[in-house]
Amino acid sequence: MRLSVAFRHAHLSHASVRRSRAGVKVLNSENRRISDNSAVSYPWVREASSTSGTSETVTSFKSHPRKNDGPLYQSAVCDIVQRSREELKAIRETNPGLKPTLAIIQAGEDDCLLEVNKKMAGKIGLNVMQICLPRQCTEEEVIEEILRLNEDSRVYGIFLHLPQSFLSKSVRNAIKPQKDVDGVSDLNVGRVVLGDQRDGFASPVAGAVLEMLARHDAPLIGKMAVLVGVEGPLKATLQFLLQNNGMMVQTCQWSSKHMQKQIMDLDVVILLETDHKGLPPTWLRPGVAVINLGSALMEEHPDSWEHRAEAESGAGVGPLSAALRMQHVVRSNRRWIQEQQYQPWRLRPLKLQPLSPVPSDIEISRAQTPKPISQLAQEVGLLPEELEAYGNTKAKVHLSLLNRLQHQPNGKYVLVAGITPTPLGEGKSTVTIGLVQALSAHLKLNSFACLRQPSQGPTFGVKGGAAGGGYAQVIPMEEFNLHLTGDIHAITAANNLVAAAIDARILHEATQSDKALYSRLVPSVNGVRCFSPIQMARLQRLGINKSDPSDLTPEEVRAFVRLDLDPEKVTWQRVIDTNDRFLRKITVGQANTEKGHARQTQFDIAVASEIMAILALTDGLADMRARLGRMVVGSSRNGQPITADDLGVTGALAVLMKDAIKPTLMQTLEGTPVFVHAGPFANIAHGNSSVLADKLALKLVGEEGFVVTEAGFGADIGMEKFFNIKCRTSGLKPDVVVLVATVRALKMHGGGPNVTAGVPLPKEYINENLQLVTDGCSNLKKHIQIAHLFGVPVVVALNAFKTDTQAEIDLVCRIAEASGASAAVQCHHWSRGGRGSVELAQAVKEVASQKNHFQFLYNLQDSIVEKIRTIAQKVYGADDIELSPEAQAKIDYYNQQGFGALPICMAKTHLSLSHMPEKKGVPTGFILPIRDIRASIGAGFIYPLVGTMSTMPGLPTRPCFYDIDLDPVTEEIKGLF
């Protein structure tokens, strides 16, 4: 049974900490000045002779004893302490208030060795934490304490003051090597054996022995030494340290029959006394150096632990080893600080050998063996504690990285957008991946791709996955396209918790009196009633400054318990991550248990949830929780907005989302890093990956690196929202836009026939047709102009297909550059990987280095109507807008509630610059109809619904799931791509 450890203040100095099961008490260490007057006199050196005792002696190698050897070793201690103090002072200049701690784990409550370490810690300015375990503690108890200290950010050194029998391999290796200041772990001992201690620590006891010997005039080379009774890591460390300094070393046990003969002619005897043994004086020749390690180590016999002579604790190698131990703690702290700083990348790209013809996406993905995600993280400068692995190929990254690298300059910020897409897709994700593969693997520039997580609706519907394609994709593509790390599931759960809370609250308010509601909302627990923190916040919003539930008046109780949500004005919808057209309008509450409280509502696709938009725009946990609380779910009967805070659900939502807020790290086919995070639809929401992923990546790539992020659909939707919404939120400014186009898409915009996924292409898209290309380039020109509205330069990436002719490719590039693009290049990443996008990478590098004049399209203080009109006219090319009566009523309501200064997020078809999907090219002369307007107050934008825009996609006649299956033997997924 483990004993609790009491605090014995009478035995603690200011530099000590005692820990029990009840907790840890830290006392500030004293910073005493070191001088000759304050130094302790250590009687280390005495002459060994035939008449003197030698239980603990050190002598010179000379035949005559040295004079004043005590001051010599005082000087050694003072030198080490002074160096450590100066090093710690330098550390504190950039890290004020830092006071590293040495943790001592011991069995029993002996303070002898603690006192020596306390004094040294106090002189240097360190803390000492003493953890006293029961004398008969188990290995598991020791390891438990070690593991706790490994994760303690205050502790930079762990010292096991335990008998040799306690120091098993498991115990020693439980210590993190960087905190193993006593050098007992196999890794640190191995570094000594190899003669490389740059990243590790050698035993301070062994270091003290070497320091003592080195301070004599006689050279060590060629001298003979014996280790008597020394075992374990200390034995190996001593042996190799002495040998590395030119000495010849033997070992001997106390039980050896030939001990006298073995040590008779030696120059140095290093011993560890057990059973109070000593060496008979007659065994030692005059002038031999004898060093006893007993004052620095715990002996096996418990009786000696607390009754060691006072003089012994202040003599021998004890003080010197304590000084070296403190030096190790300071250096451990310095190394930790160096590790926290930005680290240059050591990226090892994966080799890619493209095949022709190009296999399917899933075959390419499976043919490449991804690096372990921990290896990739290390290569790009992430620390182990910043990584939360989900298997071997993906991991969450902790937001603490932003604090660690807060002073690191950002890299270049590149946005990939596109022309108006066709049903076949133009390959923005593929271009994004190909570009970062080219930048990192071929141009040797740090680069990160930041992508959205794909919704399972399109994956199983018509579009398929979004991992890229060909030899430019994220791997493993099955994991990327399916559940990934569960972020969308977390959003679905959080969203539907709000929906459940809404209907439950409407029901309970309709069927209970004020008194009954109050007694249930503020129940008595063990005879005590109190408000929860979120209820206190609601009281404050109501202007009720009371904290005792019994103090509220009946009027205050009524205001507190009744949200009075109008069922007809609930704006919050349930969500599911499936394309399901029959959920576009539903009736809930039809069971008899709901007492006739049925109402009409609907489902949206999960990625259209406001919570998804919040995830993509938030900058941290506190901000996310505040945004979740501000979400407006409906209105009361008197027209007041009702929020998630009013429902009391905010804290629960934050709990559900606490892991989803961390971006997911993956890799491309060429082993370059990718952040996958958030996935709002671009035609419904703002269509960009998270602000957090971009910010983390911009710090990691360094000032000369590149972060390439993708906006959904065309520049009229995803890019416009990236600039006006995401950049406003993040404060980040893009350096260049990569605009993706394809010859076949331009032919469609030039008047070519419609195409359908899975159906053979009409001949216009297979054969050369320069006229269609020329006419279709009007759409490309318009998107270049849209980018220029924001003052950002454009590089056109022409995603080449095998049906394209060189004449068509050259024509597009000429027109693009004539229309204002800074460069236009063809890309072959789909068939060649990063090597096929090197020209694009070079163009992006050159253009991104140029200054731009980024600006927003509108002022937030403009009216809601004017902001909508500005987007419609300047971006879409509309003559004007037309508001439905319902939309106008919503605008009036939002202005009344103070929401008029929010940015606009247009929900519009992605298949045309207009609201009419069939209108290709550059439509003109149309009026943009606004049929409804909604508000995402938590996310921070107003979103008008244009035309017949639906927030729940439907399945086609033949969805993608027809081709998807699982091999029950190999568990391989078939038909995903």
State the catalytic residues.
428, 430, 452, 463, 682, 713, 801, 830
The residues that bridge with 741 in the sheet, in sequence order, are 798
* Whole-number Å distance between alpha carbons of 33 and 804: 80
Please give the structure tokens belonging to residue 958: 């033949």
Radius of gyration of the chain (CA): 36
Strands 268-271 and 289-292: what pairing? parallel
Query: What b/e string do you get for 145-172 counting C-beta neighbours within 10 Å, with b at 16 or more?
Result: bbeebeeeeebbbbbbbbbbebbeeebb
3-state SS assignment for residue 198: coil
The residues that bridge with 933 in the sheet, in sequence order, are 944
**Which positions ≥6 away from 268 have C-beta within 8 Å?**
213, 223, 224, 225, 226, 247, 288, 289, 290, 291
**Closest-CA residue to 910 (of 433, 426, 429, 583):** 426
**Closest-CA residue to 519 (of 566, 497, 552):** 552
Question: Which secondary-structure segment (H or E) carries 469?
Answer: strand 468-469
**Closest-CA residue to 892 (of 867, 862, 863):** 863
**Closest-CA residue to 652 (of 533, 510, 503, 505):** 533
Axis crossing angle, helix 554-561 with helix 514-521, rounded to the nearest 10? 70
Q: Are 884 and 835 in contact (CB under 8 A)?
A: no
Alpha helices in 400-486 (DSSP H): 400-404, 428-437, 456-460, 477-481
* Whole-number Å distance between alpha carbons of 609 and 617: 13
**Which positions ≥6 away from 368 have C-beta within 8 Å?**
350, 352, 475, 669
Please give the full DSSP string across 554-597, using - where no structure is assigned. HHHHHHHH---EEEEEE---EEESS--GGGSSEEE--SGGGTT-
Angle (nearest 5°) at CA 933 between 927 and 938: 140
Q: Are 706 and 436 in contact (CB under 8 A)?
A: yes
For 798-859, what is the HEC assignment? EECCCCCCHHHHHHHHHHHHHCCCCEEEEECHHHHHHHHHHHHHHHHHHHHCCCCCCCCCCC
**Closest-CA residue to 501 (of 655, 646, 606, 637):** 646
301: amino acid identity, one letter:
H
Q: Which residue has the tokens 């609380």?
A: 629
Query: What b/e string do you get for 682-720 counting C-beta neighbours within 10 Å, with b at 16 or more?
Result: bbbbbbbbbbbbbbbbbbbbbeebbbbbbbbbbbbbbbb
* Whole-number Å distance between alpha carbons of 434 and 832: 9
Q: Find the length of the chain.
A: 977
Q: Are 585 and 693 in contact (CB under 8 A)?
A: no
Please give the structure tokens belonging to residue 390: 């989900």
125: amino acid identity, one letter:
G
Please give the full DSSP string across 730-761, using - where no structure is assigned. H----SEEEEEE-HHHHHHHTTPPP--TTSPP
Please give the structure tokens belonging to residue 740: 């993706």
**Closest-CA residue to 684 (of 427, 958, 457):** 457
Angle (nearest 5°) at CA 906 between 773 and 915: 50
